[in-house]
Structure 1
């Protein structure tokens, strides 16, 4: 295909995708009965949020596949641009990096670091990169994507009880574990080049199947340049800052987070 024709095709695909995203809230709102959703074992009678706030992001349950058997290479062998952002996480003296170019297409990596289970998560629409302790009350949980959003943020689910968890807060909002909260772990988001300088032998996540997704391409091109989120977001917008501005959130247990 000629370059010009390829660009026109890509532009058409993006336009169709944008149009579908605009339609999603109306489609989701037309049938708010959870029993009509995919084959869930979730106890929808338990929830601490209005179910009307849940909208479809487009894909079905696990339509964005979480990574359950992550594959790694040494940082010195990873074929990444020095400016590629990676989530860096250390536990029990083991350090790993998770490139956003991979998590952009999977959103969750169920992994073990330093012998302990963790869920490494990334929500592209919020640019929220958060690592959670995947053990609760001594029991390990692993997570998948619901295909749903709340306030434009990923709603993930645990495969043990199929409770739904808000990624941004780590709180269970629907299902048997409603009200429980996952422990957030300290992590950092930095350029791969800087990470490699410090941790040349550390492990870096790579795709299990490089042909599964178009890794390296951003499906949300220019999203952070918009004046407002996609219409998938139905909440209020701030009055004194651009709604799409990137902020750092400072959290302290029991207190209101500060951006």
Structure 2
């Protein structure tokens, strides 16, 4: 809680100070004491109330005009709530060596979440290494982000709202039906408005690279075979260099194709790094950040069969301290237009 100056106490009196203190506590508790400001109540489609009866649409930090329907309604893209995992030996019979997966290790436990599954579900609710997580993938942004789902110490479960903002998925939590921006992990609407989920370090990497790092790791497989055409890419050629983002109304970046891949590192968002630059150099060091690229990972958004997509390579992002110790950094491999629209005034290094 913020300190109240003594002279302020004398002027206002104890009752007034108590009221001020209560206001501060309430603001801090609601998680909106940051740069974000609640907007005045807005008109919105009343169908939202029917779809999300627990949601509080009087509380928002974004203009509702920015929120678009992605087509499917709430849970039309079904999150995975009871994930099924198999050994690497079993998974090798299913997944190609260069297929993309989200590799995650928490407290010594390692799991891979293949994009051929997440493309059709976008969110997997899981507990790994004792930590409740949401493993998320937005194909329209190529944003693969893992969140610790605890909010105010309480684990939450997430679903796909069926809405987009700036071409990025809006998630919702099932406890309060607040709406959350997947790219930032910030609640845009509802009880948790202004609060942010903690991101966890993860990698988009080839299945083969995951198996090399974690030979005893476990691998996600579909809970029900045939529920979706797993292995197929419904966004064929979406990441073509001359492509355009879907359901997007913002500005496009200058000097770089909008669908070019860039790397954004948490804590260093004033710049993003073009993947083409890292691929050309192999390794790039920028202060404590080291980025490296190696060949051998398919794009999940290129050809109809994910396993046949063009090679976009593997990115590793780590911090390096004075002793030379390396630690995986929270980062996102996304598209240039995503960086441009979400990071105001940032620079793409290329």
Q: Distance in 2 between matches of 1:114 and 1:86?
A: 19
Please give the per-residue CA displacement for 1:199-247, whole angstroms capped at 9, x wherever unaligned. Answer: 22211000000110000000000011143212x1111111121111111
Distance in 2 between the 1:192 and 1:251 partners? 24
Q: Which secondary structure does the structure 1 equivalent of 2:261 belong to? A: coil
Give the distance between the partners of 2:130 and 2:187, measured in 1 at CA: 25
Q: Report the equivalent of 1:113.
A: 128
SS in 1 for 2:145: strand
Query: Which residue pairs with 1:54 in the alignment?
Result: 67
- Structure number with greater CO (CA < 8 Å, separation at least 6) is 1
TM normalised by structure 1 equals: 0.84
1:196 positional shift: 1.3
For the residue of structure 2 that corresponds to 1:236, the secondary structure is coil
Equivalent residues of 1:76, 1:196 under 8 A apart: no
Give yes or no for contact 1:34–1:44 (8 Å, CA) kept in 2.
no
The answer on 1:165 being equivalent to 2:195 is no
Preserved contact between residue 48 and residue 178 of structure 1 (Cα < 8 Å) = yes
Q: Which runs of structure 1 show a deviation greater than 3 angstroms over 4 or more consecutive aligned residues?
A: none
Mapped partners of 2:156, 2:45: distance in 1:
23
Aligned-partner Cα distance in 2 for 1:163–1:124: 22
Distance 2:225 2:106 in 1: 27
**Contact 1:76/1:200, CA 8 A, preserved across alignment:** no
| Alpha-carbon separation, structure 2, partners of 1:170 and 1:184 | 8
On the 8 A contact 1:250/1:257 being kept in 2, the answer is: no
Instruction: Please name the residue that 2:111 is paired with.
Output: 96
Structure 1 residue 197: deviation in Å?
2.3
User: Counterpart in 1 of 2:216?
Assistant: 201
- 1:33 Cα offset (Å): 2.4
Output one character per residue of 1:112-134: Cα deviation in whole Å (capped at 9) or x when no partner: 00011001000000000000001
Number of residue equivalences: 225
> RMSD between aligned alpha carbons?
1.2
Q: Which residue of 1 aligns with 2:45?
A: 34
Following TM superposition, by how much is the alpha carbon of 1:194 offset from its aligned partner in structure 2, in angstroms? 1.5
Instruction: Supply the distance in 1 between the matched residues of 2:45 and 2:199 (Cα, whole angstroms).
Output: 29
1:34 CA displacement: 3.0
Q: Give the match for residue 271 of structure 2.
A: 258
Q: Which residue pairs with 1:228 in the alignment?
A: 244
- Is the Cα contact below 8 Å between 1:91 and 1:114 reproduced in 2? yes
Contact 1:153-1:167 within 8 A present in 2 as well: yes
CA distance in 1, matches of 2:126, 2:45: 30
1:139 correspondence with 2:149:
no
Residue in 1 that maps onto 2:80: 67
Task: Kindly state the Cα deviation for residue 257 of structure 1 after the two structures are TM-superposed.
Answer: 4.3
Q: State whether residues 60 and 146 of structure 1, in contact with CA within 8 Å, keep that contact through their aligned partners in structure 2.
A: yes
| TM, length-normalised to structure 2 | 0.63
